[in-house]
Structure 1
Amino acid sequence: MNRLFTLALATTALLGSMAPLAQAQAQDWPERPVQLVVVAGAGGGSDYTFRLLAAELEAALGQPFPVVNLAQASGIVGYTTYTSSPPDGYTLGQLSPIAQFTLLGQANFQPESFTAIAQFNADPSAIHVSADSEYQDLGTLIAAIKADPSAFNISCGGTCNASWDIPFVSMLLGEGVDVSKINLIPAQGSAAALQELASGGIDIVLCSIPETTALKEAGVVKTLAVMSEDRVAIDDAIPTVKEAIGTSYVGGTWRGVAGPAGMDPALVSKIEAAVADAVQQDRFVKGMEDRGFGIAYLGHDDFTAFLGEHFAQTEQVLNALAGK
């Protein structure tokens, strides 16, 4: 009994000594470069926005924040790399729509696999048709899809079951459409999907508004609605879904900073505060606005809750698409 009591006292003392050590580590962070893993290739939206963020973090914290692009296997390699790293704040990474990988059996990520630190960007999905489409408003289009779900070729503008089509399918579900019968067609990126739309091979493209600018200016594409709470600054003539049909449906892609599970709360708070400060800097704001990217900040608690909601919504949509 005395031996057990002594062991318990020693364990309590060890745990007590670790708390000040963790606090000191958080206070001193960063003492060396911090790697930011981006789960997409160089030159795209994720790369651009994270490099903007990295520049502000470097300026504020005095250490390099090198961006490492690990896009292999649709980003699974990047996610695996940083979630498998020590939870010391020196390997962080991009957290974006991810639930589809687990639900489709491609990986085994769960909300608990991550420490969701802070979201800094969100870009709403939008619904695009050809300029000469017979469906010139969202209500008419939804009614036609509901009447004959299989009659439309709908491009996700990339690999399906992710950023752009999950909110759209969720909207169709809410409007009573049998989504198990719709045709979702993957494309090699939004640009390829929009060219198919222009040539008549695709009826609907789901992607962000900035990606359609050139074809819209050429009179080839029309955007029926944007899936956001408010109209977007890049083209405030486009109505929101709520304005178009009377019910709000919101969604799209989003980007945030995360780390592996098990990070010390004091360290998380410090990184969260650094990101919150970075997204308010004039250089960051201008850089985002120049390319049409939306700034949408969520702190640790809200981002963690949102991640759980993302998994739940994605599961609901994928089950509906499979007719479950």
Structure 2
Amino acid sequence: MKNKIIIPILASILGGAAASAAQANQAEEWPAKPVQMIVIAGSGGGSDITFRLLAREMEEGLSQPISVINQAQGGGVVGMTTYVNAEPDGYTLGQLSPFAQYKLLGQADFTSDSFTPIAMVNMDPAAMTVAKDSELTDLSTIIQILKSNPSSLTISCGGTCNASWDIPFVSLMLDEGVDVTELNLIPAKGSAAALQELASGGMDIVLSSLPETDSLRDAGMVENVAVFSDSRLDRYPNIPTVEEITGQEVTGGTWRAIGGPAGMDDTLVSKIEDKVKIAFESDGFQNSMADSGFGAVWMDAEQLSQFIRQHETQTQRVLNELSN
């Protein structure tokens, strides 16, 4: 009888040891085949640029290619779903950006437990942009119009609404006494598509990062109204902060990180994080991000894990206020 009990226990122990050895070997060999990086926004925008720059630098130190795949459908839900449901083997990674709004709005079931955080690489404040020939010449004018008629302006979120770009904007409108439930917020397939529509006259305001507006602003087609940062940005010294204009200290924007599906082995995560950090610290990535105007901000896997839980709490608080 004792032997019958001991054998299953021994088999279980050996099985666990074999699994651990296989995971360690998997981490040691990564990447043994091409890696997919899912970007949850369309081509040409800030997310696309950031992850293509990072993938280019990561490939320099790897024996395998990294394919950047854009999946902007559903405001990013499709892209996140793709890599969250992938095997946790490190070969399908993706853009981890503001996600808490999806569950709160009934669009998806993502929580911080849906992901394996790997590393933060970028953070940028939101900005308000209008067409060059627009009558919306300043933020004070926009506020007065929306106080009078909240639904009178078309406002693109530059991606998914109730997320990174429009939450600080809506918070400001709340502080200014605007009925935010009547705002005409419109999602887009990324900031690049939204800005093109703005330039062609199909939109009144676009909420996005400042670097994403560079080409159209330089071409004289759009104009930046204000930025949701605590001080003017070095690259954009002529663009005022929201606080300068309104006296309201409202800041916010987006962040971009690399994540994978839940359940990735810690050793594998550590190896990928190391490769990402090398690429992040490279002159190529740092200089390209600076040239593009994007903020290079680093968090390791542990820091990012804490950050995304704070993101959930903050987003819930804001959306609860909006629904009251």
1:207–1:72: structure 2 CA closer, same or farther, 3 Å change rule? closer
**In 1, distance between residues paired with 2:89 and 2:97?**
21
**Which residues of structure 2 form unaligned runs of 5+?**
none
**In 2, distance between residues paired with 1:43 and 1:220?**
17
Letter of the 2:128 counterpart = I
Structure 1 residue 89 displacement after superposition:
0.8
Any conservation in 2 of the 1:155–1:193 contact (CA below 8 Å)? no
Percent of residue pairs bearing the same amino acid type: 47
Q: In the TM superposition, what whole-angstrom CA distance separates every residue of 1:144-194 from its partner, at most 9, and x where no partner exists? A: 479657276251244532331112223444566553344434566123235
1:208 aligns with: 209
1:59–1:181: structure 2 CA closer, same or farther, 3 Å change rule? same
Structure 1 residue 4 displacement after superposition:
5.1
Matches for 1:43-58 after TM superposition, within 5 Å:
43-58=44-59
| TM-score normalised according to structure 1 size | 0.81
1:70 aligns with: 71
Structure 1 residue 11 displacement after superposition:
2.7
Any conservation in 1 of the 2:194–2:206 contact (CA below 8 Å)? no
Structure 1 residue 20 displacement after superposition:
3.8
Q: In the TM superposition, what whole-angstrom CA distance separates every residue of 1:81-132 from its partner, at most 9, and x where no partner exists? A: 2111111111111222233333332322222111121121222111346778
Letter of the 1:189 counterpart = A
Any conservation in 1 of the 2:83–2:261 contact (CA below 8 Å)? yes
1:244–1:23: structure 2 CA closer, same or farther, 3 Å change rule? farther
Greater displacement, 235-244 / 263-272: 235-244
| TM-score normalised according to structure 2 size | 0.81
1:267 aligns with: 268
1:8–1:136: structure 2 CA closer, same or farther, 3 Å change rule? same
Greater displacement, 169-178 / 97-106: 169-178
Any conservation in 2 of the 1:149–1:179 contact (CA below 8 Å)? no
**In 2, distance between residues paired with 1:227 and 1:275?**
28
Structure 1 residue 31 displacement after superposition:
2.0
Letter of the 1:271 counterpart = I
Is the partner of 1:273 in helix, strand or coil?
A: helix
**In 1, distance between residues paired with 2:74 and 2:42?**
11
Structure 1 residue 235 displacement after superposition:
0.7
User: 2:197 matched to 1:192?
Assistant: yes
**In 2, distance between residues paired with 1:175 and 1:223?**
20
User: 2:153 matched to 1:153?
Assistant: yes
Letter of the 1:191 counterpart = Q
1:24–1:237: structure 2 CA closer, same or farther, 3 Å change rule? same
Any conservation in 2 of the 1:194–1:212 contact (CA below 8 Å)? no
Count of residue pairs the alignment pairs up: 317
Q: In the TM superposition, what whole-angstrom CA distance separates every residue of 1:226-258 from its partner, at most 9, and x where no partner exists? A: 223443233123233455555543322222211
1:314 aligns with: 315
Matches for 1:80-229 after TM superposition, within 5 Å:
80-128=81-129, 136=138, 144=144, 148=148, 150=150, 153=153, 155-159=155-159, 160-173=161-174, 178-186=179-187, 189-193=194-198, 195-196=200-201, 202=204, 204-213=205-214, 223-229=224-230
Letter of the 2:37 counterpart = L
**In 1, distance between residues paired with 2:114 and 2:177?**
34
Is the partner of 1:76 in helix, strand or coil?
A: helix
1:10–1:175: structure 2 CA closer, same or farther, 3 Å change rule? farther
Letter of the 1:14 counterpart = G
Structure 1 residue 21 displacement after superposition:
3.4
1:295–1:207: structure 2 CA closer, same or farther, 3 Å change rule? same
**In 2, distance between residues paired with 1:78 and 1:20?**
32
